[in-house]
Amino acid sequence: MLDCACGIGTQAIGLAKLGYHTTATDLSPKAIERARQEARQRQINNISFSTADFTRLATSVKGTFDIVIACDNALPHLLTDEAMSLALENIASKINNGGLFLASIRDYDALLNTRPTSTLPIVKDMTGAKSITFQVWDWITPNTYTVNHFTLKGQDNNYEPHIRKTTYRAYQRAELSSLTAACGFKDIHWLLPEDSGYYQPIVITRKA
């Protein structure tokens, strides 16, 4: 299987541990290096990592796979139908005929009803300090928004702020299903968190 948006290896390492022969790619070299470290620490050997853009998988990743996954809201980084279609075409090029594609995104069908502007803070206690994380969402258009991800680390009255920014498109499930079907996938169905136990809606489809 191929995890084409592996990040620090959350899904790829878990699946390799279950016995899947796993190739894991990500656009970020820093994320790939962290994923390698996490795999080494867990003595996971049936996994290989490399840097690749999932809109260029056809030329940057060798071979084809029975399963390709892209989880944790990776696809909505693509802001236009054209960019999404390019990614889906490249993903399809890496799947054996009849193989599966699985992806997860935020529940934008629900979020677009309220367009939230922030998330609640998450506080973690570290040795002698705390880490506080939260997000501020700036809606640019009715269906695109920038996430400002704040992290405060420190203790007492001394906290050091860090901020990361990224922009997403809030794809509704019908939109993503239509684009997926147009790129040669069939048998498209969705599992919601109450059905799967996973925290995001999951689309499962098969290469025709």
Amino acid in position 69: I
Q: List the domains of the chain with CATH numbers.
A: 2-105+171-207 (3.40.50.150), 110-169 (3.10.450)
Q: Is the pLDDT of residue 157 over 90?
A: no
For 108, the 3-state DSSP assignment is helix
Mean residue pLDDT across the chain: 96
Q: Are 19 and 25 in contact (CB under 8 A)?
A: no
For 19, the 3-state DSSP assignment is coil
Distance CA 191, CA 200 (A): 9
Q: Is the pLDDT of residue 127 over 90?
A: no
Q: Are 57 and 4 in contact (CB under 8 A)?
A: yes
Distance CA 16, CA 141 (A): 39
Q: What is the pLDDT of residues 79-88, one digit of tens each?
A: 999 999 999 9
Sign of the C-alpha dihedral computed for residues 41, 45, 47 and 50 taken in this order: positive
Q: Are 180 and 205 in contact (CB under 8 A)?
A: yes
Q: Are 69 and 2 in contact (CB under 8 A)?
A: yes
pTM above 0.95, yes or no: no
For 32, the 3-state DSSP assignment is helix
